[in-house]
Structure 1
Amino acid sequence: MIKLTRGKRPKELTDEILMELTELYRNNNHKDVWNSPKIKKPLKEALLKMSYGKCVYCECLLEEESKDATIDHFLPKTAYENKVVEWENLFPSCLRCNRQKNSYDKKLLNPCKANPQYFLGVCRNNRFRLKGIDRQGLGKDTIREIGLNDIKRVLIPRAREWEIIRSQLEEICESLQDDGYQPKQQRKFKHLMEDCMAENSYAAVKATNMLNDECYQYIKNFLISKNEWTSVLDEIESELKKIALQLVSFFEADSDAPSHHREASS
């Protein structure tokens, strides 16, 4: 999970339409009013733009590999009927995460209100497993209730994508050791770094692994020594640091999130 910035409410979701659809849902809570033809297309486009086309929870790419984009109500519609089409309460989610979260109405991590870096970490002994790191328990509750450590549906896809990157990092390391610097190695390295940026799947875990990888550090230091570590690479690394999580021991004590990052619900 990464920090997201919510854009402006789609112009089609006017106050009048919002009131109309909310009242329609109050009268019949079996109606999927958020899928109304009046707002469905622009609402979906705006939500996917906000999340880089990913599920806001597990970070899988939506609309790919049979992962349909669904609309999740952060505060459940069953308990908060007045927020059923409220822009700030809607997130794009894969069907798995949406079903897993269901109608859970206690506080969970809201990626538009809180920075996941202060609530989630990556286990040192399992670089694809998340761990809650805040004393409030929001990180732990979010992982548990949404199933963000689901082995088959989440951990394995995360691991598969990282291992592809990792194997290519090793190839670059070997090439640098055997053949010395070549421009194509730098270009390939740049592409691998970019694959861990916010707009790509499982970015938080991939960025964490990238920045803490021995091959990454070796390549970076090699490029620096040859004056080939460019400002572009530096900018990409800065972007990775904005989404990378802490590496933590599975038994490491939870820490307090800074007070100005604690808000988790809208």
Structure 2
Amino acid sequence: MIKLNRTPKPAELTSELQDTLTAEFKLTGKSVWNFDFIKKGLLGFSNDKCCYCEANINEESKYLEVEHFHHKDEYKDEVLEWDNLLPSCKKCNGTKNNHDTKLEPIIDPSKIDPKNHLKYWRYRIKGSDDIGKLTVSVLNLNEQDRLVKKRFEIGNAIQEKLEQLNELTDDYINGIQKNTRRKNRIVNGTKGLMKEGLPSAIYSATSATVILTDLEYDKLKNKLISLNLWDMELIQLEIDLNKTAFKLEK
């Protein structure tokens, strides 16, 4: 879960249409939010990801459901309030179910930065305070097969890539493969890996956290600095990753 920057509501969602459809929902219970312009607007500010687990909603079996942060059955007047709508995968939406977020608040990632309330520990997410702990519990953010296993696979792949980049860099330093192609392979490979932790990437919080907390990353960074290869793009990428990464639990 990462902080999302909500965009303005779609122009098509006028006050008149919102009032009409809200009245229709109250009368019939019809899913009056299933419009393409609403879904497109939600996916736009989440980079096509679930607002909670960061899965790619465009993947098969993870299709978008319009999530009502304050549950639609309890808070009917907010059924089309733009600030109450979030993009969620079917699994997270179903897991949250009818939890009352007003009586027992959890993290709304469009309003609260999750990294201020969540920490990372061995591919598991843990709350650092009451709202963080309740968020993890309500959304089941440590579901073993769906989420923890996926985080482990991502982390393992990142660690292997960091080791490979360090080996390539050592060969470059030792003169075994000291040419422009090798240099570009190292620098571009490092940038490509770091981009996996940017907000636009799936599971970016996991990727950013693993990258920045791995000892192999520190080794690689120091080597590139010594070679004057740690350029402005890499500096900015590290800044951006720090905005997304969770703190490790001590």
- Corresponding residue number in structure 1 for 2:12: 12
Matched, 1:129 2:124: yes
3-state SS of paired residue (1:77) = coil
Say yes or no: does 1:231 pair with 2:232.
yes
**Cα distance, 1:158 vs structure 2:** 1.8
Give the structure 2 partner of residue 90 of structure 1: 85
What is the SS of the residue equivalent to 2:197? Answer: coil
Residue 216 of structure 1 deviates from its aligned partner by 0.8
Q: How far 1:178 sits from its partner (Å)?
A: 2.9
* Local SS of the residue matching 1:155: helix
Q: Hey, what does 1:111 align to over in structure 2?
A: 109
- Secondary structure at the aligned position of 1:173 is classed as helix
Distance 1:138 1:55 in 2: 20
SS at match of 1:33: coil
| Map of 1:139 onto structure 2 | 132
Deviations 1:224-254 (A, max 9, x none): 00111000000111110111111003xxxxx
Alignment of 1:7-156 (within 5 A): 7-29=7-29, 31-35=30-34, 40-105=35-100, 106-123=104-121, 126=122, 128-134=123-129, 137-156=130-149
1:175 corresponds to which letter in structure 2? L
Displacement of 1:76 in angstroms is 0.1
Alignment RMSD (CA, Å): 1.0
Is 1:173 the equivalent of 2:166? yes
Moved over 3 A (4+): none
**SS of alignment partner, residue 8 of structure 1:** coil
User: 2:3 touches 2:114 (CA, 8 Å); kept in 1?
Assistant: yes
> Using the alignment, how far apart are the partners of 2:32 and 2:59 within structure 1?
25
2:185 and 2:146 mapped to 1: Cα distance? 35
Inter-partner Cα distance in structure 2 for 1:179 and 1:114: 44
2: distance between equivalents of 1:166 and 1:69? 31
Aligned pair count reads 239
1:165 offset after TM fit, Å? 1.9
Opposite residue 101 of structure 1, the aligned amino acid is: K
Query: Which residues of structure 2 form unaligned runs of 5+?
Result: none
Write out per-residue CA displacement over residues 158-210 of structure 1, whole angstroms, 9 at most, x where no aligned residue: 22122222211111111222343622111111100001111111111211111
Question: What residue in structure 1 maps to residue 209 of structure 2?
Answer: 208
Provide the rounded CA distance (Å) in 2 between the counterparts of 1:162 and 1:67: 22
Query: Structure 2 counterpart of 1:117, which letter?
Result: K
Higher relative contact order (CA 8 A, sep 6+): 1
Matched-pair contact (CA < 8 Å) for 2:158–2:210? no
TM-score by length of structure 1 reads 0.88
Kept in 1, the 8 Å contact 2:197–2:241? The answer is yes
Which amino acid letter does the alignment assign opposite residue 138 of structure 2?
E
Q: Which has the higher helix share?
A: 2
Partners of 2:3 and 2:109 within 8 A in 1: yes
| 2:197–2:244 CA contact under 8 A, matched in 1 | no
TM-score, normalised on structure 2?
0.93
How far 1:84 sits from its partner (Å)?
0.6
